[in-house]
Structure 1
Amino acid sequence: MNKNHDLRDVINRQSRVRGMMLGLALGETLGGVRGNLSGTGPLRAGVSTQLACFTAEGIIRAQVRGNHKGICYAPGVVLHAYCRWAFLQGIEVERMRRRWRPYGGAWPDGWLASVPVLGERRGSAPATVTALSRIDAGEEAMATASRGHHALTRGLPIAVTGLGGISQAGAVAALTHGDPAAQAATVHAAVLAHHCLTHSASEPESSARDALHAGVTALPSARLPISGDEHGRIVAAFRYGADEPADAVRLAQLAPDPSAPSALLGGLYAAASFPGRADLRGALEFAAGAPDGESVACVAGALLGAVHGIEALPADLVSRHELAWVLDTLARDLVMEIEDSPGGSEYVPGWDPHWWDRYPGW
């Protein structure tokens, strides 16, 4: 009986992480076309989704390194992941090769580097690209002054690591985005997503608002930096979603630009406006109408997907998304690494002999 309960718990956790990863991808895609999808054909991934894939892979590889080496600076491993993305994109190819190839054999390594779509240009991430082009200056000097939303949207998978790991979300954002507001919004979004991933409720239809309320309430006590003004804006966005839901004017006021704070407030408002499991498509379509629909719908999709699980996402959209298998695999493997460490550790052999090849720990 206990084994059955353990299995159910793992399946539930996987469903929620899969929902978060696919939700953010669908949100970005719908937002990119303002909700006006064509009726047929594949759905194209955006650059936030590409970068979120490498964030998830970087988290797994950081966990692997920690297990085998006993120590790991996770933001540095995630930075290495973003460098692999840049290399595949044809950005600073020689610089990336010179920096990373001396440390190992074939580079870029890991299975994610073999996915063709991740090498295609799917939008602009100027702060990330500019910072990576200055990587030789060192992690403390490479960041731009940007408060753009990519710091937040690409960082959503960090929510899976729990509140201890989320404390490093700001450091990951700071690799490329030097604005304190962008870093703070990234951390706060990860806290909200964590509560969506872990919240349980007897009434499924109320679970989204309950989870978001729990996250909003926990922010000041999460041992993470938040000012009174920041928390007040987040509380207001949630209350507007409950009391004045689905108001396009209110959405535009909360999320007027493509910044990380706008993505957080707009995504939270959209998610709180459509808390029901059956309303997830409506939430994405509403969020897509924000001034920067890509980032707002990305956050809303991640939060609602984390609460309701993969099964709640529109099957007709998930089945058409070009990175659906990649995102689903990363989500499953992320949970597996955190729960069971298939690659083992320095002293304990792993049960999957191919895990290190898939996720080299560096």
Structure 2
Amino acid sequence: MADEKDREKDQRREALKLQSRVRGMMLGLALGDTVGAARGRPPAGGPLRAGVSTQLACFTAEGIIRASVRGNKKGICYPPGVVMHAYCRWAALQGIEVDRMRRRWVTVDDRTWPDGWLAGVPVLAERRGSAPATVTALSTIEPGGYGTPTTSRGCHALTRALPFGAVGLPGARQARDVAALTHGDAGAQSAAFHATVLVHHCLRQQTAPHGGQGPEAGEPVRSALSAGIAALRARERSRGGVLTDDEHDRLLTALRYAADEPAHAGRLARLAPDPTAPSALLGGLYVAASFPGPGEVRAALEFAAGAPDGDSVACVTGALLGAVHGVEALPVDLVSRHELAWVLDTLARDLLLQCDDSPSGSEYLRGWDPHWWERYPGW
């Protein structure tokens, strides 16, 4: 009996640790987006504003949950299409092609749309920067289709995809497929895939206790990133995937530079020279490995903000470090003032709950939460 109780306690502790890390990943990407937009100097007081990458990441997480709900209830689902529907709800809230969006998704005259609880968050209806490739692709959407992807290599293919890391390797494949619906550039699609694999390995990495200050405090971050790169290499070799030799070398080079030349502004500018998805990936990897300790998150975000496109680099940096160290390592004064902190925290918890327990039930089993379908309609 004692052994069984100990096992149950260990399982609860592991579940809480994973929850902290997924919360850290979601809130970390948002803090990075905000600090990056402020060039490393967010206002000293008042609410901290969310950026467009954070808005889209919220709808990515919601779309992942709704895709899982649909799969459990209907037995068939195309997750990238469900996430694309989530981006259409974001666009409608923003006032972008509202009539087109309704024609595509609303087949019943009296249906309330956009639906789901996320559509009721006022901040998500405010313009917080541009996502040109996403908007352009959504603006070509027609009934029965998902629009025409652009040729863009832009960073939003990656930054909005980071929540897929919580779903593991299937999520990484879905991140690549979702990127392909709006960003036709193969490099952008690959970067979204690679970033979500790295996030997944950060979420699953063993860590030292919070507050460690010696060299060993940084080992979990570097070990997780190294393991993620190795897993990408092994997987792509065995399946003939999308990780080219050049991409593999660039990832390893960024990691090596973090060990040999950490926190070097010139090096960061050369690794991440523009607002593209590959730059966000390499820049975020370099900065996270340059500031790997649990007490270095603020310094990491401030340094990442100095990149030519600080928003995207800091966004990736925050997601990686938050995924390894958990929400407790994030600067409390910043998290507590972020206007979407509660929304991001709720999405992180609900994402894990859906993956673990399916509160709305399935095609054959009755759910235990009567409100889950209303919150996350499975379509």
* Global fold match (TM > 0.5): yes
2:243 counterpart residue number: 226
C-alpha contact 2:138 2:146 (8 A) present in aligned 1: no
Provide the rounded CA distance (Å) in 1 between the counterparts of 2:370 and 2:146.
36
CA distance in 1, matches of 2:74, 2:175: 22
* Greater CA drift, 260-269 or 100-109: 100-109
Distance in 2 separating the partners of 1:144 and 1:285:
32
Are positions 1:48 and 2:53 aligned together?
A: yes
Deviation of the 1:210 alpha carbon: 1.0
Please name the residue that 1:13 is paired with: 18
How far apart are the structure 2 equivalents of 1:269 and 1:137?
42
Contact 1:85 1:118 in 2 (8 A): yes
Rounded to whole Å, the distance in 2 between the matches of 1:227 and 1:141 is: 28
Query: Does residue 298 of structure 2 align to residue 281 of structure 1?
Result: yes
Match of 2:142 in 1: 136
Q: Decide whether the 8 Å contact of 1:19 with 1:306 is kept in 2.
A: yes
Matches within 5 A, 1:122-161: 122-136=128-142, 139=145, 142-161=148-167
Aligned pairs (5 A) from 1:150-299: 150-202=156-208, 204-223=217-236, 224-299=241-316
Q: Which position in structure 2 is the counterpart of 1:312? A: 329
Aligned position for 2:213: none
Matches of 1:165 and 1:311 in 2, distance apart?
A: 25
Structure 2: distance between partners of 1:80 and 1:43: 28
Shift of 1:140: 6.8
Which is worse superposed, 210-219 or 116-125? 210-219
Q: Which residue of 96, 115, 119 maps to 1:113?
A: 119
User: Residues 111-163 of structure 1, C-alpha deviation per residue, up to 9 Å, x if partnerless?
Assistant: 00000000000000000000000012875751000000000000000111111
Q: Percent identity?
A: 69
Deviates more, 1:67-76 or 1:157-166: 157-166
Separation in 2 of the partners of 1:249 and 1:129? 33
What is the distance in 1 between the residues matched to 2:375 and 2:170? 25
Q: CA RMSD for the aligned pairs?
A: 1.3
Question: How far did 1:191 drift?
Answer: 0.5
Match of residue 38, structure 1, among 28, 43, 46: 43
Which amino acid in 1 is paired with 2:118?
A: L
CA contact (8 A) 2:207 2:324 kept: no
Q: Which runs of 4+ in 1 moved over 3 A?
A: 137-141, 201-205
List gaps (5 residues or longer) in structure 1: none
C-alpha distance in 2 between matches for 1:234 and 1:284: 20
Q: Which runs of 5+ in 2 are unaligned?
A: 209-215
Separation in structure 2 between the aligned mates of residue 326 and residue 345 of structure 1, nearest angstrom? 26
Would the aligned equivalents of 1:246 and 1:286 in 2 still touch at CA under 8 Å? Answer: yes
What is the CA-CA distance between 1:170 and the residue it aligns to? 0.9
Q: What is the distance in 1 between the residues matched to 2:39 and 2:169?
A: 33
